[in-house]
Structure 1
Amino acid sequence: MTESEKLLKELGELSFLRMWSHSSPIRNDNKKEFCDLLVYTKDTIIIFSIKDIKLSANGDDIVKEKRWNRKAIEESVKQIYGAERALQSNIEVIGNNKKLISIKITENTKVYRIAVAFGSEGKFDYKAGNFGSGFVHVFDEISTLLLFKELSTIVDFVTYLDDKEKFYKKCHVILEREIDQLAHYLMNGRTFPDKYNSIIFENGIWEEYIGKIEYKAKIEEDKKSYFWDQLIEHFIFHEFNGSLESNESSIEESLRLLSYENRFNRRVLSDSLIEFITNSQDSNKQYCRTSISPSNVVYIFLILDINSDPIKLRTIRRDILEKRCVVTRTIYPNSKNIIGIGLNPNIKILNGIDLIYFHLETLNEEFTQYANEIRELYGFHKNTKFAEKNIKEYPEF
Structure 2
Amino acid sequence: MAEAVNNSEQFVYDMCSKSFLSLWSYINPQGKTSDKELCDVLVVCDPHVIVISVKDIQLKKTDNPSVDWKRWQRKAIEASIKQIKGAIRWLDQSEYVIQKDGSQGLKLPLQGERIYHRIAVAFGGKREVPISSHAEEDEFFHVLDEQSVFLLLRHLDTISDFANYLINKEAFLFNTSTIINGGEENLLAIYLHNGRQFPSEVGMMILEDDLWEGISNKPEFKAKLQRDTASYVWDRLIQILCQGGFNGEDWLGPDMSESELAIRVLVKENRFSRRMLGGAFNDFLELSKMGQLSSRCVQSISGVGYVFFAYDSDSTLEERKSELCARCYASLCQFQECFTVIGIGVNVPGQKPRHGYSSDLVFLQAQNNQWSEEDVRQAQHYRDKFGFFKNPNKTHCHEDEYPVTENTDNT
Match for 1:16: what amino acid? Answer: F
| SS in structure 2 at match of 1:319 | helix
Spell out, residue by residue over 1:328-377, the C-alpha distance to the aligned partner (whole angstroms, 9 max, x if none): 2354233221111112332899x632222222223222332233222221
The range that moved more, 355-364 or 154-163, is 355-364
Indicate the residue corresponding to 2:330 in structure 1: 327
Identify the match of residue 141 of structure 1 among 122, 143, 146.
146
Query: In the superposition, relative to structure 1, how do residues 347 and 229 fare at CA in structure 2: closer, same or farther (>3 Å)?
Result: farther
Do the aligned residues in 1 keep the contact of 2:224 with 2:403 (CA within 8 Å)? yes
- The aligned amino acid for 2:179 is I
Q: Which residue, out of 258, 267, 276, partners 1:250?
A: 258
**In 2, distance between residues paired with 1:241 and 1:12?**
22
CA contact (8 A) 2:289 2:350 kept: no
Q: After superposition, where does 1:370-389 map in structure 2 within 5 Å?
A: 370-389=378-397
Any idea what SS the aligned residue of 2:316 has?
A: helix
% identity of equivalent residues: 35
User: Number of residues paired by the alignment?
Assistant: 390
Give 1:8's match in structure 2, choosing from 2, 12, 22: 12
Residues 50 and 115, structure 1, Cα contact 8 Å, conserved in 2:
yes
Is residue 111 of structure 1 aligned with residue 116 of structure 2?
A: yes
**Equivalence map 1:139-288=2 (5 Å):** 139-175=144-180, 176-239=182-245, 250-283=258-291, 287-288=294-295
Residue matched to 1:343: 346
Q: Contact 1:330–1:363 at 8 Å: present in 2 too?
A: no
Instruction: Give the match for residue 127 of structure 1.
Output: 132
Note the C-alpha offset of 1:30. Answer: 5.7
For the pair 1:304 / 2:315, whether they are aligned, the reply is no
**Structure 1 residues 22-64: Cα deviation after superposition (integer angstroms, max 9, x where no partner):** 1110025464100111111221111000100011243510000
The 5-angstrom pairing of residues 11-90 of structure 1 reads 11-29=15-33, 31-90=35-94
* Superposition pairs of residues 90-109 of structure 1, within 5 angstroms: 90=94, 93-95=97-99, 98-109=103-114
Distance 1:25 1:243, change over 3 A: closer
Offset of 1:138 from its aligned partner?
0.5
Cα displacement string for residues 172-217 of structure 1 (whole angstroms, at most 9, x for unaligned residues):
1101310111112111211211132110110111111111110111
Shift of 1:107: 2.8
Letter in 1 for 2:45: T
Is the CA contact 1:238–1:244 (under 8 Å) kept in the aligned structure 2? no
CA contact (8 A) 2:42 2:49 kept: yes
- Contact in 2 for aligned 1:249/1:356 (Cα 8 Å): no
The Cα shift of 1:101 comes to 3.6
Distance 1:376 1:243 in 2: 39
Q: In the aligned structure 2, how far is the partner of 1:234 from the partner of 1:243? A: 18
Once the two structures are overlaid, the 10-residue window that deviates more, 89-98 or 290-299, is 89-98
- In structure 1, stretches of 5+ residues that fail to align are none
Letter in 2 for 1:8: V
Root-mean-square deviation (CA), in Å? 2.5
1:242 deviation in Å? Answer: 7.0
Q: Is the aligned partner of 1:314 residue 2:320?
A: no
CA contact (8 A) 1:156 1:263 kept: yes
Cross-structure match for 2:296 = 289
Once residues 144 and 19 of structure 2 are traced to their aligned partners in structure 1, the CA distance between those partners, rounded to angstroms, is 16
CA distance in 1, matches of 2:147, 2:331: 46
Matched residue SS, 2:263: helix
Distance apart, 1:96 and its partner CA: 6.6
Structure 2 stretches of 5 or more lacking a match? 406-411
Change in 2 beyond 3 A, CA 1:111/1:396: same
State how far apart, in whole Å, the 1-side matches of 2:95 and 2:33 are: 7
Distance 1:240 1:64, change over 3 A: farther
Write the distance in 2 (CA, Å) between the matches of 1:266 and 1:91: 31
Q: Indicate the larger mover: 104-113 or 43-52.
A: 104-113
C-alpha distance in structure 1 between counterparts of 2:39 and 2:150, whole Å? 19
| Partner amino acid, structure 2, of 1:329 | L
- In the alignment, residue 23 of structure 2 is paired with which amino acid? M
Distance in 1, matches of 2:391 and 2:213, equals 50
Change (3 A) 1:80 1:359: same
CA distance in 1 between partners of 2:320 and 2:218 (Å): 46
Worse overlay, 235-244 or 164-173: 235-244
**SS state at 1:332 partner:** coil
CA distances 1:148-170 after superposition (whole Å, capped 9, x unpaired): 11011111101110110110111
Q: Secondary structure at the match of 2:132?
A: coil
Alpha-carbon distance between aligned partners in 2 of 1:288 and 1:240, rounded to the nearest angstrom: 24
Please give the alpha-carbon distance, in whole angstroms, between the structure 2 residues aligned to 1:263 and 1:42: 18
| Change beyond 3 A, Cα 1:78–1:59 | farther
